[in-house]
Structure 1
């Protein structure tokens, strides 16, 4: 089947690999400058959590001197998974650093190669601190589309980004190539850890090999929302920080039931692209008078 040609930054070989395998690795896509603003947003949330833990009497030291990879892990040493899960298994705070990440031209250029230049940033973005010893760290086998099975949105491209080196020890991403052609499989909510993740049974995974993807910080992994994937527990002494973003063509369902996405690129209507101020006000486009 011929693959429709778009602009963007990917080579023909990369596009073919994505369409055939269901995923693509873009090593070192982001540099330290690109990661600075979202890291500041993550550190803001960690400070909020430290303040809350201290106010609740669960900690006596907010560990404000500790480095980025270690602070959150050490804040929860001796605490329980329930203590962590009160702050959510993943975060979707409306902080400026995340807008700058979602709007980063390096990311959007890559997405444009796959779906064209009319791009909507899906409201389902997640900041994931995989904390050692916390139940939310391990994510079971699933398809992202299981979180929006009724949405009129296909394709949705997940862009998974590492903010420290993701390793086999700290729980890197694992996936099954070529499974993006699967229908949305019957799924269930994981019940043992309190996370409520959607999950698949072992017998649903088929015989396709599993590929583990340890990657350096700044690497992006793009994959189709039907691709089977998971991640393992964090057995290290630090947090495995990652963010998963999602993009889709503008003619697909914006999924307002999941929050407010925004127009991140439009070759046809560039004046409508949402600014930081629009996004902070939950407006999907520049000039829109309504918030989602």
Structure 2
């Protein structure tokens, strides 16, 4: 395919600081899970919020089970494809993906690309308490954004470590005026050692999407230089970066303009996580016209039932790889519309694939609907974007993987857009009724003021258990696929959730990337997602040691997406220089950087404009986490028109049922690799390059295999990041 022209796809959009700093009218009724007034304030002020104990481990158990199922399918596919020799069936949730990655580098990418949205994932996404929080952030009508990720952060894996960026950078410019809260949910205690998140506190206040570059290192991630963060978003990278360690059960809530990143995983376990997003259903989702949001709550329909079927959810059996039918099943390259939005300053295999006209798109939220065959064949859009290191995104932060720099989450596809500080600093009208999980007024205030809010105890460990189980399932699928694909000899089946992915990665570097590319959205993930702007949820205690998050407090206030560069190191991640953050977002990197350690059960809430990142994982475990995002369904999701958000809550339909089926949640069995795959199919199935539209949006200052793949027009598109 001929090289494609690369250019920014849109004109500048005015800053919208009020979108990110002004809370909506708060609900009058008290509901379970609601944030306190202080928490709401923190979210809008800082751009993020960590709720340490939002879920119980029992609540997350179904999600973990679903992930384990996904990993099992991946392992089977890899094994049948001759990519691995050992499915590591006894390794466990936190170890198996590591073992698969060791045999077939890029296994985590494949898992990240899958688009199966398990029931557990849907249930999490539409969880009542999470939706109650979303009402406080976006208003009574709530829709699930089409971008979600399962993060497969295996240890010491460049492709699972996301650099600084704003979530808006992966979407088109229309999403700048749409607040898209993300709930990043780790499935292990997320800390500095295993790769937690870092957020640039206040980086959302400018209401801008800074200039990102594409792609970071050998990844498909856009990159936001720290200099750009400071210059465009007005933050200080020396003081505004907050490391968000989130314990299992906790949630990190972010917005789509606050710069953030994930740290490297230096532990011995996979750091699984999910990131789910929401927004006002009437707003643009910025998903490039590719997919609509899924309505989850409606004022006009109190009994609204989420239309998961209409959201394009696939059955697990569709993920089973039939050797004769599945093309590029093992292609670990990822690229998408964001690569066209930003300048490609660093080429790699992901950008090369994009430039060559590749047709696989793995977006921030997994899933682009180029064609039905393509979606199935490439396992693109795992409704939970199994993110190897960060939307849902399942983040499996393995130890000592490359750690990306700060990013604004709005770093995706379009050219410069005028600032929109109000989008990130003005809360919507708050719910009148009290609901479970709602943030306190203080938390809402903090979220809009700081760009994030950390809720240490949002979930119980019991609530997180299903998510962990789902992750172990996904790792098992990955191990099986790698083993069957001849990529690994040992499936490390007894390693466990926090170790297995490390062992797989050791045998096949890139296993975490393949997991990150998986398109399987386990039921546990759906349940967590629909439980709540980004919510970063660690699946173990997230600390500085295992790589927790850092957020640049107040980096969202400018309402801008600072200029990122691409790509960080050998990754696909975009990078946001500290100088850029200070210059553009108006923060002080010496004083505004907040390290967010989030315990298991806690949640770090961020917005899509606040700069954040995850620290390196220096532990011996995978620091699993999930980051989930939301937005107003009537707003653009900025996802390059590739996929719509999924409505989760509607004020017009209180009994609305989320349409997970319509969101394309694939059944785990469809991730299994068939026995008669061709060599070409095996090669593509285990391709660990990742690239996407963000590589076109930002200047590629550091070419690598991901950017080269993008430039070559590769067919894999794995967008967005979270940590």
TM-score using structure 1 length: 0.88
Shift, 1:258, TM fit: 4.6
Shift, 1:83, TM fit: 4.9
Partner residue in 1 for 2:98: 73
Deviations 1:102-142 (A, max 9, x none): 11112111111122210000000111110113322110100
**Relative to structure 2, which stretch is displaced further, 140-149 or 69-78?**
69-78
Partner residue in 2 for 1:263: 295
**SS of residue paired to 1:93:** coil
Distance 2:297 2:36 in 1: 20
Partner residue in 2 for 1:231: 262
Shift, 1:5, TM fit: 2.6
Within 5 Å, which residues of 2 pair with 1:28-43?
A: 28-43=53-68
Within 5 Å, which residues of 2 pair with 1:192-207?
A: 192-193=217-218, 195-206=219-230, 207=236
**Relative to structure 2, which stretch is displaced further, 128-137 or 279-288?**
279-288
Residue 220 (1) aligns with residue 251 (2)? yes
| Greater relative CO, 1 or 2 (CA 8 Å, sep 6+) | 2
**SS of residue paired to 1:205:** helix
Would the alpha carbon gap of residues 83 and 97 (structure 1) be closer, same or farther in structure 2, given more than 3 Å must change?
closer
Partner residue in 2 for 1:251: 282
Alignment equivalent of 2:125, drawn from 74, 99, 102: 102
Distance 2:292 2:22 in 1: 34
**SS of residue paired to 1:24:** strand
Within 5 Å, which residues of 2 pair with 1:30-179?
A: 30-80=55-105, 82-85=106-109, 87=110, 89=112, 91-152=114-175, 153-179=177-203
**Relative to structure 2, which stretch is displaced further, 157-166 or 29-38?**
29-38
Q: Which runs of 5+ in 2 are unaligned?
A: 1-20, 231-235, 315-645, 648-655, 664-723
Would the alpha carbon gap of residues 110 and 103 (structure 1) be closer, same or farther in structure 2, given more than 3 Å must change?
same
Shift, 1:280, TM fit: 5.2
Contact 2:194/2:266, CA 8 A, preserved across alignment: yes
Would the alpha carbon gap of residues 131 and 287 (structure 1) be closer, same or farther in structure 2, given more than 3 Å must change?
closer
Distance 2:283 2:292 in 1: 14
Deviations 1:26-82 (A, max 9, x none): 1121112321222222112101211122123332221222221111112222543x4
Contact 1:157/1:225, CA 8 A, preserved across alignment: yes
Count of equivalent residues: 288
Shift, 1:20, TM fit: 1.0
Would the alpha carbon gap of residues 239 and 216 (structure 1) be closer, same or farther in structure 2, given more than 3 Å must change?
same
Would the alpha carbon gap of residues 258 and 34 (structure 1) be closer, same or farther in structure 2, given more than 3 Å must change?
farther
Contact 1:137/1:232, CA 8 A, preserved across alignment: no
Partner residue in 1 for 2:273: 242
Partner residue in 1 for 2:26: 6
Q: Which runs of 5+ in 1 are unaligned?
A: none
Partner residue in 1 for 2:576: none
Contact 2:116/2:313, CA 8 A, preserved across alignment: no
Contact 1:172/1:214, CA 8 A, preserved across alignment: yes
**Relative to structure 2, which stretch is displaced further, 50-59 or 115-124?**
50-59
Contact 2:47/2:255, CA 8 A, preserved across alignment: yes
Alignment equivalent of 2:47, drawn from 4, 11, 22: 22
Contact 1:92/1:126, CA 8 A, preserved across alignment: no
**SS of residue paired to 1:15:** helix
Contact 1:278/1:286, CA 8 A, preserved across alignment: no
Deviations 1:258-288 (A, max 9, x none): 5453111112223443144454558867699
Would the alpha carbon gap of residues 244 and 59 (structure 1) be closer, same or farther in structure 2, given more than 3 Å must change?
same
TM-score using structure 2 length: 0.37
Would the alpha carbon gap of residues 114 and 177 (structure 1) be closer, same or farther in structure 2, given more than 3 Å must change?
same
Partner residue in 2 for 1:184: 209
Shift, 1:90, TM fit: 5.3
Distance 2:156 2:223 in 1: 20
Would the alpha carbon gap of residues 273 and 150 (structure 1) be closer, same or farther in structure 2, given more than 3 Å must change?
farther
**Relative to structure 2, which stretch is displaced further, 69-78 or 256-265?**
256-265
Distance 1:278 1:161 in 2: 25
Q: Which has the higher helix share?
A: 1
Contact 1:119/1:264, CA 8 A, preserved across alignment: yes
Contact 2:108/2:152, CA 8 A, preserved across alignment: no
Contact 1:99/1:279, CA 8 A, preserved across alignment: no
Distance 1:168 1:94 in 2: 29
Distance 2:107 2:272 in 1: 19
Would the alpha carbon gap of residues 39 and 287 (structure 1) be closer, same or farther in structure 2, given more than 3 Å must change?
closer
Distance 2:658 2:264 in 1: 44
**SS of residue paired to 1:225:** strand
Partner residue in 1 for 2:395: none
